[in-house]
Structure 1
């Protein structure tokens, strides 16, 4: 059965720090990494050390629609995945600044699963905005 992948605690914390305040059914507690079902609450309505836990696709859409940063995963040979970024907030000729910053001197990292690549891309983009 295909299931949506949820963001990790680290990504949930970064999202809250960067202003993610969408309603989410799941929340995650920092002190024990426990996942709890809630009645669709936002980050600003949660106790300290609790974070909204959206799916990766919701986090990706929020970055694109609200923050103007597009994180996308591209296939490479051998059923592996790599990342690309586009910042819609800067002129076209500068839109690859984020990608250059993340891959500085290291080339493109390759991931075994699409979900691992997307999670890494979400975290890297959030750290830079």
Structure 2
């Protein structure tokens, strides 16, 4: 088993949203991942972008923006549901927008990546 890291696109959205948690990995301007020995907030740099794990990004969204990215599974596959972390109020769910034939994702990590990305896009558009 290996850690799952956010995609380059999601990392850039995290940077725009103010993600400032020190990480061991960074994306270069071209999207290559570099590992470092000491954690650092690479988002302070114009030439690099922090590359957190999906779990760290989800925790940051809960703590900094009050949004929980919940991942669940049904007969068609994995899907995401966004809700307020303080009271569980529903914001939105993936509503069969996934890539498989059932409109879901074939992996937990795929659904989580999609949920993180859509959550960050909502924050950018609506200032959540």
TM-score, length of structure 1 as denominator length: 0.81
SS of 1:3's partner is coil
| Aligned partners of 1:83 and 1:108 also within 8 Å | no
Question: Quick one: structure 1 residues 77 and 44, their matched pair in 2 at CA, closer, same or farther if it must change by over 3 Å?
Answer: closer
Q: How many corresponding residue pairs? A: 116
Task: State the distance in 2 between where 1:26 and 1:61 align.
Answer: 17
Q: Which one has the bigger strand percentage? A: 2
- Residue 6, structure 1, aligned to residue 5, structure 2: yes
SS of 1:22's partner is coil
| Equivalence for 1:87 | 84
| Aligned partners of 1:5 and 1:115 also within 8 Å | yes
TM-score, length of structure 2 as denominator length: 0.81
| Equivalence for 2:111 | 117
Q: Deviations over 1:63-95 (max 9, x none)?
A: 0111100001101115x1011110247x76xx3
SS of 2:6's partner is coil
Task: State the distance in 2 between where 1:74 and 1:67 align.
Answer: 21
Which runs of at least 4 in structure 1 moved beyond 3 Å after TM superposition? none
Q: Note the aligned Cα RMSD (angstroms).
A: 1.9
* Cα deviation, residue 44, structure 1: 4.2
SS of 1:62's partner is helix
| Equivalence for 2:72 | 74
| Aligned partners of 2:69 and 2:83 also within 8 Å | yes
| Aligned partners of 1:16 and 1:43 also within 8 Å | no
Segments of 5+ residues of structure 1 without an aligned counterpart are: none
SS of 1:13's partner is helix
